[in-house]
Amino acid sequence: MSINGVPFITLNRFENGFREEFLAGVETLFDNTQFIGGPQVAKLEEKLKEKTEAKHVVGCANGTDAIQIALRGVGIDKDDVVLIPDMTFWATFEAVVNVNAKPVTVDVSRETLHWDKETFKEAVEKFKPKAAILVHLYGWGCPDTMEIRKIAEDNGVTLIEDGAQCFGTKVHGESLLGSAKVATTSFYPAKVLGASGDAGAIFSTDEQIINTCRTLINHGRTSHYSHGLIGWNSRIGAYESLFLNMSLEHIDARLDSRRRAVKYYQENLQGLPLKIQEVPSHVEENGYCSVALIDPDLRGPLIESLKAANVGFGTIYPGAMSKQEAAPKYMAGSIDNGNADYISKAVLNLPCYAYITEEECEYVCQVVKKHFSNS
């Protein structure tokens, strides 16, 4: 095999002509001084609606703002209690704090790595939250999404779905971003649909919520110099919208290449102490991450072998939210069954990115197999 290493992720695999087309588009934006707003932003919101089957979409500056704006958009205010998973990225936690609400961390399932309906129901009954943020990690969807949506609705809990990693993911055949009452996503460059910088979006089936969010992203404006709300300056830029519009033309091919890599690992790393996770049959993933679990005592030695062979890896995520240094003083409670903490010590992510080759996946598998054969 000619290759001698594989990165965990690379952002420079584009389709033939993509770079030249983007630069030509930038030149047009520059010539027309279309820097904020304009036709590229409007086009992006329409394309996102079409691709996700969402009723309403508004772009914003980044995925963290998207969560904060969605919280405000549904009426979350000072001291309101909001449930969040104990296994997520810090942005989910800090978004709740940044709108002056109180997060409650709720443990996830050790099997699915997401919320399960029983623990979610327990948290709703115990903490009486005004809202909850369901997080779809790793390019999967939470397997219990539909049941959690119903529990939330039956108990008067507004459910926001953090879909920063799940663009293109479906549960029971339904687009998560399109079917959620309120969902958010990030277009950080490393996502399956990434921009060339920060960007995000909010999706909703409720026109009133999306109109409020649209007002909030633009200083709470009701007209150019009239302000009905205290908002943010969180408008999505024209350059990022151009990049995303072009990327949407190729998104199916990019997702397929990622899914093939995940499947390759699943088929070629069976029977090892490193167990590649699979999603239930009713979940259609997008290939964002190849996720494996390994005995925490075995993870360190395997990581050293990966490093020696120049194979990139991730540990997404290496710490539960409730264990973060800044978390305790803001938390209004928690349900901690030890699962998020265990997962953070056992998770290992193998290289996965758009247009990763079979040769690269084979190299990764050979390194992993060699490590365990020598152990």
For 228-287, how does the pLDDT look when each residue is reduced to its tens digit (9 = 90+)? 999 999 999 999 999 999 999 999 999 999 999 999 999 999 999 999 999 999 999 999
The predicted structure's pLDDT at residue 306: 98
Does residue 375 carry a pLDDT above 90? no
Contact 336, 323 (CB under 8 A): no
Q: Could you tell me what percent of the chain has a pLDDT over 90?
A: 99
Does residue 165 carry a pLDDT above 90? yes
Does residue 212 carry a pLDDT above 70? yes
- Outline where DSSP puts E strands in the chain: 56-60, 81-85, 102-106, 131-135, 158-162, 170-171, 174-175, 182-186, 200-204, 221-223, 226-227, 275-276, 283-284, 290-293, 333-335, 347-350
121, two tokens: 């129901």
The predicted structure's pLDDT at residue 2: 77
The predicted structure's pLDDT at residue 1: 54
Q: How far apart are CA 341 and CA 358, in angstroms?
A: 33
For the residues of 242-311, what is the DSSP string, one character each?
HHHHHHHTTHHHHHHHHHHHHHHHHHHSTTSSSEE----TTEE---S-EEEE--HHHHHHHHHHHHHTTB
The predicted structure's pLDDT at residue 115: 98
Query: Which residue in this structure is represented by tokens 């305790």?
Result: 328
For the residues of 140-174, what is the DSSP string, one character each?
---TTHHHHHHHHHHTTPEEEEE-TT-TT-EETTE
For 181-191, how does the pLDDT look when each residue is reduced to its tens digit (9 = 90+)? 999 999 999 99
For 299-341, how does the pLDDT look when each residue is reduced to its tens digit (9 = 90+)? 999 999 999 999 999 999 999 999 999 999 999 999 999 999 9
Does residue 19 carry a pLDDT above 70? yes
Neighbours of 369 (CB within 10 A): 15
- pLDDT mean across residues, the chain: 97
Distances (CA, A) of 280 to 30, 88, 118, 145, 292: 47, 20, 18, 12, 15
Distances (CA, A) of 101 to 14, 75, 82, 207, 325: 41, 11, 7, 24, 19
Does residue 353 carry a pLDDT above 70? yes
Does residue 51 carry a pLDDT above 90? yes
For 65-87, how does the pLDDT look when each residue is reduced to its tens digit (9 = 90+)? 999 999 999 999 999 999 999 99
Mean pLDDT of 104-127: 98
Please name the helix (run of DSSP H) or strand (run of DSSP E) that holds residue 37, with its range, or none: none
User: Chain centroid to CA 21: how far?
Assistant: 27
Mean pLDDT of 55-74: 98
